[in-house]
Chains A and B, each alone.
Chain A
Amino acid sequence: MDERTIRLKINGREREVSLPPNVTLLRVLRDLGYVDVKNGCEKGDCGACAVLLDGKLVNSCLVLAWQADGREILTASGLGSIEHPHPIQEAFADTGAVQCGYCTPGMIMATKALLDVNPDPSEEEIREAISGNLCRCTGYAQIVEAVKEAARRLAGGGDSG
């Protein structure tokens, strides 16, 4: 298959890659080293590979890399780091929302997408927003609490709690 060179801006960094048309965004992100984007099913059922594409939440396994040409991608490792975690990441760590952690990067990106447009969501809105992200460990309760806590912290409520 013919390759084409595409440009992706991943976590603020410009990358150029040559790819055939059948490579998914998930595959190219992982091949480029962004292994915080997890592969849980590769057909859009689990949400583990969720990233922000131009600020919108997508399952990266359902996007072809060519479709992301010239666009901006944000993954969990672009949101924050151990030294400088994002308040959403801190909130997840502090509320017991992280167990095995495999769903966590996708869950955090779903949270970011929600709080970007709705900084003070209700419990129902939170549950709806993360309903495309499966978690097999937590039963979601502490994740919902983490999203509420993150909203509070982003609104300037400090990080006590």
Chain B
Amino acid sequence: MIGKVEVKPLPKVDLPPLRQVGRPLRRVDALGKAVGSTVYAADFSMPNMLHAKVLRSPVPSGRIVGLNVDRARSIPGVACVLTARDLPGAKLSTDMPGQTGRKERAGSAAPVLARDVVRFQGEPIALVAAETEEIAEEAIGAIELEMEETPGVFDPEEALKPGAPKVYGDDNVVARWKIRKGDVEKGMAEADLIVENTFRMPFVEHAYLEPEAGVAWVDDQGVINIRVCTQVVEHFRSVAKALGIPQNKVRIRGTMVGGGFGGKEDVTVEIFLALLARETGRPVKLVYTREESFVAQSKRHPFVITHRTGVKRDGRITAAKIDMIADSGAYPYLTPYVLLYATAMATGPYRIENVSVDSVAAATNQPFTSAFRGFGGPQAALAYEQQMDEIAKAVGLDPLTVRRANYLRRGDETATGQRIASEVWLEETVTRAIAGLGEPTPSSKTRKVGRGFASYFQSYGRITWFHDTSRAWVGLELDGTATIRCGVPDIGAGQANSLCQIASELLGVPLERVTVYATDSAVTPLAGTSTATRQLYMSGNAVHKAASAVRKNLLDRAAVHFGVGPDAVDLADGRAFVKGDESRSIGLDELASACAADGIPLSNLALFTAPFTDGIDPETGQGDIWPDFTFGAQAVEVAVDIETGQVEVLKSVACHDVGRAINPAAVRGQIIGGSHQGLGYALMEEYIVKDGITQTPSLAEYLVPTSCDFPATEAIILESGSGVGPFGAKGIGEPALTPAAPAVANAVADAIGIRIHEVPITPERVLAAMKRGARWRG
């Protein structure tokens, strides 16, 4: 059990005082959602609208030997049936969604519809559009599909063996990365002992409450409009490419997204809808059922990670050799980058001079894997944080002492040689998380209590060699209200609200008088993807830049009005005023009119660019990869029932340095919600696939945490002000999830004295581990 920790006062931070930013204001989107007036993608209907369905492969590996759609086409009410033969060469580009000038990786495309070969259960084969959903369903049933099953491969290690069935390329290798730093052999030779462990993680389902949905139509300019729930409105380019039409003939009108977590980062219904709308000339709607959502879209990557660590008696790590194997499923999608994240974060937030990491992702006939909150980071953390506890056990020190001997510090380099420029509050966060657990709960005879914690680091912002950008337009209206136009998709984390609070701060316009137009690829300036914990950083900075330009014009004009210098004027509460003498003030409506009369711009379109780099050395993995990192920790207390194997989370405390909390209530929501997903990852969630066939096809079999499964995680928010986001903010969306699962795994090991190397830690696995443990002890 972790002992008491001393919590030292935080380093002094000089955070400039702010009026709107930093307050837990009611999010601008909250009330509309609460009264049910927010319209989601599946809620739109149009006159003369058709309903679509997709025929999907029932088998994970096979050849299409017969596909006859004549009978389906002849059903009254069927408007259109499309197969791969109707769309020669239509490919879905799965690589690097969003705004980037980079070339895509060779082989990253997937067929829009399978033509001859099927590589996973659920792979789309045909599309139907009909007058009603029932007729569309009937038509799907009337398609005569004859398949010949072929031998598949259902394990990434098997897929890499010579002679394995080929799913991708010549060798099923979707991606490889390596890191070579220092001299691992020398480091291992210097070690007092070597600790080796292998950890396993399963497929995980995003299980957002809103299944994928959209409506498409062709407008009077011949533009294909697609209303869809997506994390990436820039997919209009992928749609145009798949259809072979110009990019300015596709418009994505994003909706409020009912949860994304990475699962709506890839294209979902867009291309199917565009094809059917173009073919029929009528509006078409496609809404996935829950079961279809499960088989149609990506999963979190299963990983097998082996750590071999050389360590001194005092806990200092002298060398780390790490091997990773990930399951890519049938197509690459974002696997190469997820694997990169896991690789580059494999050593955790620790200074290690001698590092060797080899990672590989293999294609199999399993569900395809892609982005999921954390993007490889949580898998890496499950391995490195359990390994730290095992190292502590091996050298006979407590887990915090071992970590303290190795924690990164500001200015240190990561395993890829990237210098960390922002604050590294590992000590600050870990001590607060542990102390937050309070007095230990006593164990009983059958209920063993244990405690564990995990520190982590996680990037925010995209890979810097993608050359990421975001744009935002901010304007003041003549009545003193403010408008933001920014293509940011709001996936529920408060992406749009943060922009409003930033503009509110800079323009002095109360939050309820700011309106935001978002997520439309044609009329809102492109802001890039709502992924990679990048929107606050990227679009927040773009809004900051645009609002600052408007602010300057307002201050200059107000200064003329008051006959003072611009530095003597400030904006707040809908007014401009002379600092120190707020009786001298002018309403923003009046000031806006004065600017308009003088021809002074009241709006600005700003472009924010992340740092641009050239990429890492492919042989050594050395180079900068991300704009910055978030640091934090989580501590949990669990009780393990040694008769049933059931693990109960008793307490959970997470502490993160978020740089600056733009809206503390929203930050708290990210931390508690992310933690909940992480606790589910640790104890409950596994998308089970047997020989390529899902065994957990709906929410009845795939269990996500309910309100009764875990206690609330206490969120401790620290603000170092050192991030590269607006007002010194760092990112928290993905990092919030990362430390929860390893903290639980360490707590269970603490409770029962046996390490379970695989998540989820189910009662069966606990009982099996205890049985093994009893056997070893004789």
Contacts and interface: CB of A to CB of B under 8 A. Distances in A.
B698 A80 contact: no
Given A89-B31, A99-B669, A101-B38, A42 B290 contact: yes
Interface stretch (B202-210, B553-561, B562-570, B608-616): B202-210
B566 to A, nearest CB: 37
B36 A99 contact: no
A82 B35 CA distance: 6
B688 to A, nearest CB: 17
B251 interface: no
B712 A139 contact: yes
B35 A81 contact: yes
Interface of B: 24, 26-27, 29-40, 42-43, 206-211, 256-261, 287, 289-290, 491-494, 665-666, 668-669, 672-677, 698-700, 704-708, 710, 712-713
Given A96-B665, A136-B208, A79 B672 contact: no
A90 interface: yes
B153 to A, nearest CB: 31
Nearest to B213: A39
A139 B42 CA distance: 25
Nearest to B256: A101
A134 B258 contact: no
A21 B549 CA distance: 62
Contact of B208 (A86, A92, A98, A100): A100
A41 B210 CA distance: 9
A130 B707 contact: yes
Interface majority SS on B: helix, strand, loop or mixed?
loop
Name, among B29, B43, B674, B677, the residue most crowded by chain A CB atoms within 10 Å (CB to CB). B43
Given A139-B677, A142-B665, 14 more contacts: A38-B210, A39-B287, A40-B211, A42-B290, A43-B699, A45-B290, A79-B35, A82-B35, A90-B34, A100-B260, A101-B34, A137-B493, A139-B673, A140-B706
Which 6 residue pairs spanning A and B have beta carbons closest together?
A36-B36, A100-B492, A101-B33, A102-B258, A139-B676, A141-B712
A43 B34 contact: no
B24 A99 contact: no
A103 to B, nearest CB: 5
A48 B666 CA distance: 22
A134 B713 contact: no
A46 B673 contact: no
Range class of the A interface residue count: 35 or more
Contacts of A127: 707-708
Interface string A65-104: 0000000000111011110011001101111101111111
A92 B32 CA distance: 11
B42 A39 contact: yes
Nearest to B210: A102
Contacts of A104: 33-34, 36
Given A76-B36, A92-B30, A130-B707, A135 B668 contact: no
Contact of A141 (B43, B289, B492, B713): B713
A82 to B, nearest CB: 6
15 contacts: A35-B43, A45-B698, A45-B700, A46-B290, A77-B36, A90-B34, A96-B666, A98-B29, A100-B257, A100-B491, A101-B258, A105-B36, A136-B207, A138-B676, A141-B713
A136 B208 CA distance: 6
Interface string A29-63: 01000011111111101101000000000000000
B256 A100 contact: yes
Nearest to A129: B707
A139 B259 CA distance: 13
B259 A137 contact: yes
B668 A96 contact: yes
A82 B209 CA distance: 23
Contacts of A113: none
Nearest to B42: A39
A95 B257 CA distance: 20
Contacts of A89: 31, 34-35
A131 interface: yes
Nearest to A106: B209
B486 to A, nearest CB: 19
Given A100-B257, A136-B207, A38 B40 contact: yes
A134 B209 contact: yes
Contacts of A135: 209, 707
A110 B210 CA distance: 18
A25 interface: no
Interface in A123-149: 126-128, 130-144
Nearest to B494: A99
B672 A136 contact: no
Name, among A75, A96, A134, the residue most crowded by chain B CB atoms within 10 Å (CB to CB). A96
A125 B248 CA distance: 54
Contacts of A101: 29-30, 32-34, 38, 256, 258, 492
Contacts of B35: 36, 76-77, 79-82, 85-86, 89
A108 interface: yes
Contacts of A30: 43
B706 A134 contact: yes
Contacts of B260: 100
B668 A142 contact: yes
A156 to B, nearest CB: 21
A40 B491 contact: no
B678 to A, nearest CB: 10
B673 A99 contact: yes
A93 B30 CA distance: 5
A40 to B, nearest CB: 5
Nearest to A44: B700
B290 A102 contact: no
A100 B706 CA distance: 17
Contacts of B38: 101
A102 B264 CA distance: 15
A108 B209 contact: no
A149 B410 CA distance: 42
B668 A128 contact: no
Nearest to B39: A35
A66 B262 CA distance: 40
B707 A93 contact: no
B673 A137 contact: yes
Contact of A77 (B27, B37, B669): B37
B554 to A, nearest CB: 30
Nearest to A20: B134
A140 B40 CA distance: 22
Contact of B707 (A37, A92, A100, A140): A140
B698 A43 contact: yes
A79 to B, nearest CB: 7
Contacts of A102: 40, 208-210, 258-259, 492
B26 A143 contact: no
A140 B710 CA distance: 9
B31 A100 contact: no
Nearest to A76: B36
Given A94-B26, A137-B669, A144 B707 contact: yes
B494 to A, nearest CB: 7
Contacts of A76: 34-36
Contacts of B39: 35
A142 B492 CA distance: 14
Given A40-B290, A137-B673, A108 B34 contact: yes
B704 A136 contact: yes
A12 to B, nearest CB: 15
Contacts of A139: 672-677, 705, 710, 712-713
Given A35-B39, A131-B707, A141 B699 contact: no
B319 to A, nearest CB: 38
Name, among A86, A92, A100, A128, the residue most crowded by chain B CB atoms within 10 Å (CB to CB). A100
Contacts of A94: 26, 30
Contacts of B491: 100
A117 B290 CA distance: 32
Given A41-B698, A101-B256, A138-B672, A92 B34 contact: yes
A143 B26 CA distance: 14
Contacts of A105: 34, 36
